[in-house]
Structure 1
Amino acid sequence: MKVELIPAIEISRTAVDWERVGQHPIGDFQRNPAEWDDYQRRVLEVAGLADYSRVIKGSPFLHLNQWSLPDLRKLIKAHLLIEDEPVPVNESCALFGGGVLFVDDVPVLVPQCCSTIADFYGWKQIVAPSFGSGYFCLEGHPVPRAERQGNLLTINCQDKDETFDQPAQKQIIVGVNELAAAIEKAELVILNFSDKIDALSTEFGVQKLSDYLILAKE
């Protein structure tokens, strides 16, 4: 079994003039990936950002390893706006995004509504030796639930009140060791991304910007 956890970021809606973007394609990005990919390219263009590659073709989930400092500055400034009013960094949520889980090269779970990149650290909790069962990725909603049985983890993506954003298989079974290795690899990407963000700390008036925008410290 091949397991990958790809850290991803979503740009804030405040970064985009949606009237300029225009109508989105029919269907969703899974059924119509080519047209949705063109649409996501247009979203980035209107936001004044480079055409960063999508973790899944047509999706809004962007790879972390390509961002330039000027574009990160734009992204963060937009993220720190609520109804055109600036929010102090230490009162903001982390940047939107999270981890995209692939099993045998198939995406089986994406970040849910309002998820932030801080949710990545919820994945670390479910591979800890002390973990038995519980919910994780608590920044967004709905939230998946994991249960450990020996060397296997069963992740359930079902909620009686909300529908999971797709792709999100109802039940996902992965090896604990395989997932732990994927998390370790993904964390290196996040740490490199954090270093880039921290290069902008002084501009945003904090000592370490990633504490707030990656780790969601208060």
Structure 2
Amino acid sequence: MWVQLIPVIEMFYLIDSVPVPAKGPHWEHVEHWRDYHARNLSANGFSAQLSPYAPGSAFYRLPDLTYADLEKLIGLHCAAALEGSASWDEVGPLFGGYVLRIDGTNVLYPQCCSDLCDIESWRRIAEGTGSYLYSGHPSPIIAIDGQTATFDFSVEKQGEVFCPPPPCSSVSVPLAALADAVQGAELELNSFAARLEWLNVDRMLKIPDISAALIHGRQH
């Protein structure tokens, strides 16, 4: 089993000049949402070559963001603190999270309210020391049996629908394979952290502990 945990950032910043499509969800009306996100990103000052992780979605891979994109993203995410109307302690990690991809299929996307700090939950599950994943809401029910973690996406147990719907009602993943996936995600996060630190110095943003704040959250 080939297991990947892919870090993505959600870039969905509303702007009055670009109306949100009346039709949804995005995975059923891809063309409407693909066009919307392209125009929205352009209106917010992001580079035109940005391509979403999945057609119509607002998730983007970390390496795909240029330094100019990162500077714009930081400006939007940290606007209140940069303007002085909020403290840096109020700035949370970047929105997004991790796509669980198994044998080339996207099984679970980050859900509502998820962020990059969710790597902590993934790590504990892979280590077999925790069975709760907060990847926004809803969140799968996880059972660890020996060296296997089973993710249950059943809607009747959640009371809430996953977006997009997973391709299966449940999946069992060897902890060793999940641990490798977590390690791969952490390597990508380390590279992203280095870029954030460089940008913080180069643009003289003066954001305290920028990589800790925007990836792991200041409590970590």
Q: For this structure pair, what is the TM-score category when the shorter chain's length is used for normalisation?
A: 0.7 to 0.9
Aligned match of 1:96: 95
Q: 1:25 to 1:154 in 2, by over 3 A?
A: same
Q: Secondary structure at the match of 1:20?
A: coil
CA separation in 2, counterparts of 1:12 and 1:200?
22
Amino acid at match of 1:164: F
1:10 maps to what in 2?
10
Query: Corresponding residue for 2:40?
Result: 43
Task: Check conservation: 2:143, 2:151, Cα contact below 8 A.
Answer: yes
How many residues in Structure 1 have an aligned counterpart in Structure 2?
211
Aligned twin of 2:112: 113
1:4 Cα deviation after fit: 1.6
Counterpart for residue 155 of structure 1: 151
Deviation (angstroms), 1:122: 1.4
Indicate the larger mover: 201-210 or 65-74: 201-210
Unpaired stretches in structure 1, ≥5 consecutive residues:
none
1:161 deviates by 4.3
**Which residue of structure 1 lines up, in the alignment, with residue 57 of structure 2?**
59
Tell me if structure 1 keeps the 8 A contact 2:132–2:141.
yes
Letter in 1 for 2:143: E
Q: Which runs of 5+ in 2 are unaligned?
A: none
Match of 1:80 in 2: 78
**Hey, what's the Cα distance between the residues in 1 that align with 2:76 and 2:6?**
24
Q: How far, CA to CA, are the matches of 2:105 and 2:2 in structure 1? A: 10
Note the alpha carbon deviations across 1:8-56, whole angstroms, 9 max, x for none.
Answer: 001253xx41x32224162323223344222221221111101322121
1: distance between equivalents of 2:71 and 2:89? 16
Answering whether residue 214 of structure 2 is matched by residue 213 of structure 1, we say yes
What do the CA deviations read for 1:138-185 (whole angstroms, capped 9, x no partner)?
Answer: 6x2222332212232101235544333223354222222222212211
Q: Distance in 2 between matches of 1:89 and 1:72?
A: 18
SS in 2 for 1:62: strand
- CA distance in structure 2 between the aligned counterparts of 1:56 and 1:143, rounded to whole angstroms: 20
* Separation (CA, whole Å) in 2 of partners of 1:36 and 1:70: 24
| Aligned match of 2:67 | 69
Task: Tell me the TM-score normalized by structure 1.
Answer: 0.85
Given that 2:200 and 2:210 are in contact with CA atoms closer than 8 Å, whether structure 1 keeps it comes out as yes
Structure 1 residue 86, shift from structure 2 partner: 4.1
Give the direction of change, closer, same or farther, for the CA distance of 1:86–1:109 in structure 2 (3 Å limit): farther
Larger helix proportion of the pair: 2
RMSD (Å) for aligned C-alpha atoms = 2.3
